Structure 1
């Protein structure tokens, strides 16, 4: 058992848990879900494997812990930003900007794509709209949306996407899906640009490029909103 250097056992456990989650996140960021194993986390956290099992029963729970570290802050930031407006056009603009800002803070691809291999069409629609496209359809065998991690993603995407769905429903009640899909596509492209930023950039250079991406992509989302809401039928 490692020697306890902190003043209390509680502080020691908290510090060890933080090291474990940091190790798991580092693996997920660089290697994805397939590389996350108890043995590798124990090695990186400088723990015996039997000690690691005192904190997490398996790699799935480690994945939960990493997600729980990031998703609440992202959702809270979005709720706070959107709470300042009730105009649907402004909502789309703020939604775009805030999600890009959070992607810059937390990363995006590694976090949202942990379970990309499971994203069949039914699950893809669930992630976009927060619920299955047809709740009466039988769940496909490849859709493991009842898994703890998938459910966490579903809950998060429901929280994130609902304001966008509501905004586009107000603007295009006959066909909100077009606005939702196009806006999300623009934001996803922006997030890929953010993911591709050189990790070796100096902090000020990265922030400068991040700001440019956020401003340009938000401007694109505003232009799309104007285009899709022009004309009497918003065709």
Structure 2
């Protein structure tokens, strides 16, 4: 019988699931072009491959758990940044900055890796829904500013964020990428 390392079985299970998710994230971040096996994830946490199957039925199941764990944390970071802004222009710039910070922290690379290594229908659906939720505050801010087509303008802002994200990934210079993006957006937002 396995040893329980927590006050309750439920807490023990939650701790093991957390350790497996963290191990999978670590392996995905270290080798972005390769999906780790359940045996590799288990080894990193001190569990056998067969023990990992007690928590996750497949690699896709584990990757889905990584996605489900990551998306809310990313959403919280964006929400916190946006809610700290005092006007719609500030909310848009906060959205840009928070996204670039996620890139600088390696979170965007993890998202890109997950979508590349685990292109399941379920993951694609979750990713699309998550992405759409992230854009709601931008659409709302643009609507508040009276922009005639806030959805298209949001797409254009997102394209700027993606371009700036590539610069952060290439150079590691968050401040420079943000300053350039802000310089492009501010005149439009002020007008």
TM-score, normalised via structure 2 length: 0.77
Higher helix share: 2
8 A contact 1:186–1:217 mirrored in 2 = no
The separation in 1 between residues aligned to 2:83 and 2:4, in whole angstroms, is 45
> Are residues 181 and 193 of structure 1, via their aligned partners in 2, closer, same or farther at CA, if it must alter by over 3 Å?
same
**Cα offset for 1:34?**
4.3
| Structure 2 residues without counterparts, runs of 5 or longer | none
> Is 1:173 aligned to 2:144, yes or no?
no
Listed one character per residue, the Cα deviations across residues 102-156 of structure 1 (whole Å, up to 9, x for unaligned) are 334452112234224899xxxxxxxxxxxxxxxxxxxxxxxx6xx2212221121
| 2:133 alignment partner, one of 135, 140, 159 | 159
8 A contact 1:186–1:220 mirrored in 2 = no
The separation in 1 between residues aligned to 2:41 and 2:59, in whole angstroms, is 9
Which is higher, the Rg of structure 1 or of structure 2?
A: 1
**Structure 1 residues 205-220: aligned runs within 5 Å:** 213=174, 215-220=175-180
> Are residues 6 and 113 of structure 1, via their aligned partners in 2, closer, same or farther at CA, if it must alter by over 3 Å?
closer
Listed one character per residue, the Cα deviations across residues 35-64 of structure 1 (whole Å, up to 9, x for unaligned) are 232232223323222221111111112112
> Are residues 6 and 118 of structure 1, via their aligned partners in 2, closer, same or farther at CA, if it must alter by over 3 Å?
closer
The separation in 1 between residues aligned to 2:94 and 2:190, in whole angstroms, is 20
Q: Which runs of 4+ in 1 moved over 6 A?
A: none
| Structure 1 residues without counterparts, runs of 5 or longer | 120-143, 198-208
> Is 1:192 aligned to 2:166, yes or no?
yes
Residue number in structure 2 paired with 1:16: 16
Residue number in structure 2 paired with 1:93: 93
Residue number in structure 2 paired with 1:123: none
TM-score, normalised via structure 1 length: 0.65
**What number of residue pairs does the alignment pair up?**
190
> Are residues 164 and 148 of structure 1, via their aligned partners in 2, closer, same or farther at CA, if it must alter by over 3 Å?
same
**Structure 1 residues 67-78: aligned runs within 5 Å:** 67-78=67-78
Listed one character per residue, the Cα deviations across residues 147-171 of structure 1 (whole Å, up to 9, x for unaligned) are 2212221121011112223444545
**Cα offset for 1:96?**
0.7
SS in 2 for 1:161: helix
> Is 1:107 aligned to 2:67, yes or no?
no
8 A contact 1:100–1:190 mirrored in 2 = yes
> Are residues 174 and 194 of structure 1, via their aligned partners in 2, closer, same or farther at CA, if it must alter by over 3 Å?
closer
The separation in 2 between residues aligned to 1:77 and 1:183, in whole angstroms, is 19
Root mean square deviation, CA, Å:
3.2
> Are residues 113 and 16 of structure 1, via their aligned partners in 2, closer, same or farther at CA, if it must alter by over 3 Å?
closer
